[in-house]
Amino acid sequence: MNGAPRTAELFLEALCTETAFRDDLVGDFAEELSQRAGRDGARAARRWYYRELLRTTPHVAASWLSRLTAREARRLIAIGFSALTFLIVLDVLALLLAKGLAWQFGLVHSVSAFRLHGVGWNVAILTFATLNACLGGFIAAAVGDRTPLLSGFALGVVWTSVDLLVRGVMLLSTAALHPWLSMAFGVLVGVVMVGLTIAGAMIRIRTSGQSLPRAALGT
Amino acid sequence: MATSPLGPLELAVLLAVARLGDDAYGLAVRRDLSARLNRDYSVGATYTTLQRLEEKGLLASRTTAPLPVRGGRSRRQFSVTGAGRKAIRDAQRVAASVWAGVGPTIKPEPA
């Protein structure tokens, strides 16, 4: 027990794809944390840990991307595309089944953030769907060790169900017509999806000892 | 063997490792950099640079025994290889060449 925030330490361990590098990095964090705790107090040291973790993450992620193997790159692309395909197919089916509900309060409101910046409807819808599909593809890939196609399918089912449910709730509230609420909804969904991705990957890491990026890609 | 040119941070890290000698591990290198360059480098930036330099063959590393202060993890101690020393000399020569003749035209800033 070195006083490091357990979740943050687990995330840091998960982030590194190489075991040796992982030990060096986590060890440095632990050593500096212990020195700072003695000098500035445990609370300030923990704050430093979280802040430093945020600063370190992009460097480690960039390092991983620069060493991406051909298999991982192929899988990354495959997850994005298959997730997008399934999302669009399922969303269109859902729109046909619940046309009034979904069309009135669905995509139109979801893309209002883009519309505020003067982007056309088609571009806005496609961009929104792509972003969601890519994010969601990682959720599915993170929670299950399946092929990208099945991961995308899992995403489509989860995403469409949640999407319709939230749109239904929004329909019951007149306040939901406010564009800022729609934007907030989009942001909230994004945050939840990223959170689920990390949580799902963490589960796999704990059981398989993989790194976060590799667990997310299922390689 | 020709190596790719060093970036400013790579050169600073390489020099820090040379300066620290037997005490050159991630945390010490980061502190040395931050003190000399007056900038707070993240642990990640320091480690990815060390890793890159090792891949280029300019640094070598060995792992120490696990330490309690590091939560039972070992340290990776770095040392400059022959290629690394050559890269430092090359960088110094290039810098001297680039700066040659500039001195008299640059007035020192008033204190």
Q: Which of residues 22-81 of A touch B (CB under 8 A)?
A: 23-32, 34, 52, 55-60, 62-63
| B27–chain A Cβ distance below 8 A for any pair | yes
CB of A129 within 8 A of CB of A94? no
CA distances from A56 to A166, B49, B52, B57 (A): 35, 12, 16, 24
* Closest-CA residue to B27 (of B46, B9, B49, B48): B46
Task: Report the interhelical angle of B82-99 vs B8-20 (nearest 10°).
Answer: 120
Residue A70 corresponds to which tokens in the numbers above? 């051909």
- Which residue of chain B is at minimal alpha-carbon distance from A67? B52
Distance CA(B15)–CA(B19), nearest Å, equals 6
The verdict on a CB contact (< 8 Å) between B45 and A56 is yes
| A59, A65, A67, best to mutate vs chain B, most B CBs in 10 Å | A59
- Is the Cβ of A8 closer than 8 Å to some Cβ of chain B? no
What is the distance, to the nearest Å, from the Cα of residue B57 to the centroid of all Cα atoms in its chain? 13
Q: Which helix (H) or strand (E) holds B63?
A: strand B59-63
* The pLDDT of residue B61: 92
A201: closest CA among A155, A149, A139?
A139
Sign of CA dihedral A14, A16, A22, A28: negative
pLDDT for A102 equals: 44
CB contact under 8 A, B26 and A25: yes
Distance CA B24, CA B27 (A): 8
Residue A67, φ and ψ in degrees, nearest 5: -110, 15
Of B102, B77, B8, B96, the residue nearest A27 (C-alpha): B77
The predicted pLDDT at position A16 comes to 74
Q: Are A102 and A95 in contact (CB under 8 A)?
A: yes
- How much is the pLDDT for B54? 93
Tokens of A46: 């923990």
The pLDDT value recorded for residue A160 is 60
pLDDT tens digits, one per residue of A134-188: 555 555 555 554 445 555 555 556 666 666 555 555 555 544 445 555 555 655 6
Cα A192–chain centre separation: 7
Angle at A64 between CA A82 and CA B33, to 5 degrees: 150
pLDDT of residue A49: 92
B89: distance to nearest CA of chain A, Å?
A: 27
Give residue A67's pLDDT.
77
Q: Are B42 and A55 inside 8 Å of each other by CB? A: yes
Q: For chain B, which residues score pLDDT lower than 50? A: 1
Is residue B81 within 8 Å of B57, Cβ to Cβ?
Answer: yes
CB-based contacts of A147, cutoff 8 Å, min separation 6: none
Alpha-carbon gap, residue A197 to B106, rounded angstroms: 55
* Confidence (pTM): 0.60
**pLDDT score at A8:** 83
Q: Tell whether B26 is within 8 A of chain A (Cβ).
A: yes
Q: Which regions of chain A are under pLDDT 70?
A: 1-2, 17-20, 71-72, 74-219
Looking at residue A30, its amino acid is: A
Is the CB of B55 inside 8 Å of chain A's CB atoms?
no
Cβ contact, residue pair B27, A55, below 8 Å: no
Average pLDDT of chain A is 65
CB contact under 8 A, B69 and A63: no
User: Å from A187 to nearest chain B CA?
Assistant: 28
Structure tokens at B64: 């120490």
Residue A46 to residues A5, A52, B28, Cα–Cα distance (Å):
7, 10, 20
Chain A residue with minimum CA distance to B55: A67
Q: What is the pLDDT of residues A114-123, one digit of tens each?
A: 555 555 555 5
Bridge partner residues of B61 (DSSP)? B78
pLDDT of amino acid A101? 46
